[in-house]
């Protein structure tokens, strides 16, 4: 059983290596282009000579490009993402400070999306074509189409400004109340995607013979759904949770900006404004690695849940 799992799992991990290499090349290329003229990379006009020296030294700008990549890469694997122009301290340190807030928000948004999405998807699939189904699926499309930053503002207007139930924005020393609106906002797109996927999978499964058999046996409908249909219908949903991680990461800079949330996304936006290239590229890299690894985890989970996939590949 475990040996069965090991080989396909190892294959997936190995398949990631070229992708991660490509990701590092792309980020390096961007850094190299951005640094092409160090004076330009400086904060506008005031090209501090010391800073120019720092960039020359850090990025070995006078060396051939493959040497520069090797230097950059060897630092990277040791966790050295360079030094921020603006704050004059290690980028890795700055990112490590910001990561927990983003992780907290993303996790909360995932919980919102998975719980809300599954509930809506199952409820819709029980009576396809009926009013509840139509209302829920319209809401799902609406959720997918809503710009997160606008949704954030409207939720904040309604629940914080008008009703006064929740704080308008900010991290608030990690209070749960501060987390509610950002998590709802960030989870909205994802909720819609999961609801749609859960519904169509469940409908697909319900049509199959073994479900008809279970019904013919006289099994109660809720047992048919919960014990037989749901389990198989949920397997592809795991993939959607993986795809949704992209939505979460994409939404992070916007949601964090709307709610003044001290996370990685807001840091990235601020760094672009300050033309702090090492911080920008460090954050882009970290976002990409989180995304790739999260997808790997989803793949592995999929492997674990569905034995059929193990044999296929």
Partner 1 sequence: MTAEALGRSSGERRGRRLTIGAALVALFAASAVLAPWVAPYDPTAVPAALSDTMLRPPGPAHPFGTDALARDLFSRVLHGGRVSLALGLGVEAVAATLGVAVGLLAGYHGGWRDSLLMRATDVVMAFPSLILAIGLIAVFERPGLDKVALVLVALGWTTIARVVRGEILSLKERDYVQAARALGVGHGTILIRHLLPNAVGPIIVAATIGVGSNMIAEAGLSFLGLGAQAPTISWGSMLAEGQTFLTSAPWVAFFPGAALLLAVLGMNVLGDALRDFLDPRWRD
Binding site for partner 1 (CB under 8 A): 18-20, 22-23, 25-27, 30, 33-34, 40, 128-129, 134, 141-142, 144-150, 153-154, 156-157, 161, 168, 200, 203-204, 246, 249-250, 253-254, 257-258, 268-269, 271-273, 275, 277, 280-281, 283-284, 287-288, 291-292
Closest CB to partner 1 among residues 58, 204: 204
Closest CB to partner 1 among residues 54, 146: 146
CA angle 41, 45, 51 (to 5 degrees): 50
CB of 156 to partner 1, least distance (A): 7
- CB atoms < 10 A from the CB of 106, how many? 24
Give the alpha-carbon dihedral of 18, 21, 27, 29, to 10 degrees.
Answer: -100
CA angle 76, 81, 82 (to 5 degrees): 125
CB of 185 to partner 1, least distance (A): 12
CB of 8 to partner 1, least distance (A): 18
CB of 307 to partner 1, least distance (A): 25
Closest CB to partner 1 among residues 77, 131: 131
Q: How many residues does the chain have?
A: 313
Closest CB to partner 1 among residues 207, 307: 207
Contact 78, 153 (CB under 8 A): no
Structure tokens at 258: 């709307």
Closest CB to partner 1 among residues 36, 100: 36
Rounded to the nearest angstrom, the gap between the alpha carbon of residue 128 and the centroid of all alpha carbons in its chain is 31
CB of 285 to partner 1, least distance (A): 9
Contact 56, 38 (CB under 8 A): yes
């Amino acid at each position: 059983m475990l040996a069965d799992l090991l080989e396909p799992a190892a294959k997936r991990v190995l398949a990631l290596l070229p992708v991660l290499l490509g990701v590092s090349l792309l980020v390096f290329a961007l850094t190299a282009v951005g640094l092409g003229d160090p004076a330009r990379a400086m904060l506008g006009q005031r090209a501090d000579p010391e800073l120019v020296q720092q960039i020359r030294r850090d990025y070995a700008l006078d060396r051939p490009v493959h040497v520069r990549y090797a230097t950059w890469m060897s630092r990277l694997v040791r966790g050295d993402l360079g030094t921020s122009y603006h704050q004059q301290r290690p980028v890795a340190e700055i990112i490590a400070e910001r990561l927990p807030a983003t992780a907290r928000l993303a996790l909360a948004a995932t919980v919102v999306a998975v719980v809300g999405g599954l509930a809506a998807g199952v409820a819709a699939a029980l009576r396809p074509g009926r009013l509840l189904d139509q209302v829920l699926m319209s809401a799902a499309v609406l959720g997918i189409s809503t710009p997160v930053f606008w949704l954030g503002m409207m939720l904040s207007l309604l629940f914080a400004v008008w009703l006064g139930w929740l704080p308008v924005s900010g991290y608030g020393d990690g209070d749960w109340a501060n987390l509610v609106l950002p998590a709802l906002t960030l989870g909205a797109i994802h909720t819609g995607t999961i609801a749609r996927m859960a519904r169509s999978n469940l409908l697909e499964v319900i049509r199959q013979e073994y479900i008809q058999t279970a019904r013919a046996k006289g099994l109660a409908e809720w047992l048919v759904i919960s014990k037989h249909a749901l389990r198989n219908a949920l397997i592809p949903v795991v993939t959607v949770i993986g795809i949704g991680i992209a939505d979460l990461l994409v939404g992070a800079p916007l949601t964090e900006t709307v709610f003044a949330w001290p996370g990685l996304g807001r840091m990235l936006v601020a760094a672009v404004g300050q033309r702090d290239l090492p911080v920008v590229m460090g954050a882009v890299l970290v976002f990409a690695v989180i995304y790739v690894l999260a997808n790997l985890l989803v793949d592995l989970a999929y492997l674990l849940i569905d034995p059929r996939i193990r044999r296929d590949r």
